[in-house]
Amino acid sequence: MAERRNSTITRFILLGFYEFPKLTILLFSIFLGIYLLTVTWNLGLITLIRMDSHLHTPMYFFLSNLSFLDICYVSTISPRMLSDFFKKHNFISFMGCTIQYFFFSILGLTESSLLASMAYDRYAAICNPLLYTAIMSPTVCLKMLVGSWISGFFGSLIQLCALLQLHFCGPDVINHFFCDLPQLMILSCSDTFFLQVIFSVLTVIFGLTSVLVIMISYGYIILTIFTISSAEGRSKAFNTCASHLTAVTLFYASGTFVYLWPSSDDSLSQSKLASILYVVVIPMLNPLIYSLRNKEIKDALIRWKKRIFS
């Protein structure tokens, strides 16, 4: 036992969905279908926005980048998860585990910042329509996008540096389908207080700050919508905001359950189920959420179909 405690773990075992051995083929088929739909729908939305000049606005600039982010987001997890369904032992090296979390964290933090940028864009469009083009100029939009990626990168890099300082001496089993920070901290033999502090600070900076920006933006938006005299104008503004609010609610509600819920043996399986929504399902739903009630997207699809068939 002493030798075991002093040894260093160089690889982990990902349990994945070991609870359902008889459903392996079914689960593989479902997750493969979701992954293919996610990539197809998001690529389709990006292509549509790029091809249709009517959609070359700040709102769709951010939306196309959100779709690209979702493709990258789900691609950091799903291919590995799908390949693990048919492996007898799902080993992943320590370095592979930390790299997977590093990229996953970059994309998650970047998406948090991007959702806040999209809320500010809707605020500028609805509350200051006459100054909208000046407020949300192409340069400003690009700076907001680059700022989201840079902040996400450095936030993830800080976590990675702290994570690499931890020592793992066993057990080496991760009860999850990917390498996530809460599970890694549970397995560490080192004191994780410093990493927990860093994670809490980043949660405040990215999570609470983004939520605050979104709430303030939509507070002003709601007040402005009530002052719009036209029923059609109110409906258009509401539909646009409802799509973004739905995406924001799904993202933060599932993320809160995964990362802020107290860890226990009973909650690990629940956290795994919430992670499926957070990691796999939401990137698939986002293009649908933004498209189903969006008249401009529907009109662009009609123009695209006419161009193809003509």
pLDDT tens digits, 26-41 = 999 999 999 999 999 9
Q: Which CATH superfamily is domain 2-309 in?
A: Rhodopsin 7-helix transmembrane proteins (1.20.1070.10)
Quick one: pLDDT at residue 268? 63
Q: How confident is the model at residue 266 (pLDDT cuts 50, 70, 90)?
A: low
Structure tokens that stand for 154 in this block: 């450095």
Query: Which tops the pLDDT comparison, 98 or 273?
Result: 98
Backbone angles phi, psi at 189, to 5 degrees: -85, -10
Query: Which tops the pLDDT comparison, 267 or 269?
Result: 269
What does the chain come to in residues?
310
**Rg, Å, the chain Cα set:** 21
Q: Cα 238 from chain centroid?
A: 24
Backbone angles phi, psi at 8, to 5 degrees: -110, 130
Write down the residue that tokens 């600070």 correspond to: 201
Q: Give domain limits for the chain.
A: 2-309
Q: How confident is the model at residue 14 (pLDDT cuts 50, 70, 90)?
A: very high
3-class state of residue 168 by DSSP:
coil
Among 129, 108, 147, which residue's Cα sits nearest to residue 59? Answer: 129
Q: How confident is the model at residue 267 (pLDDT cuts 50, 70, 90)?
A: low
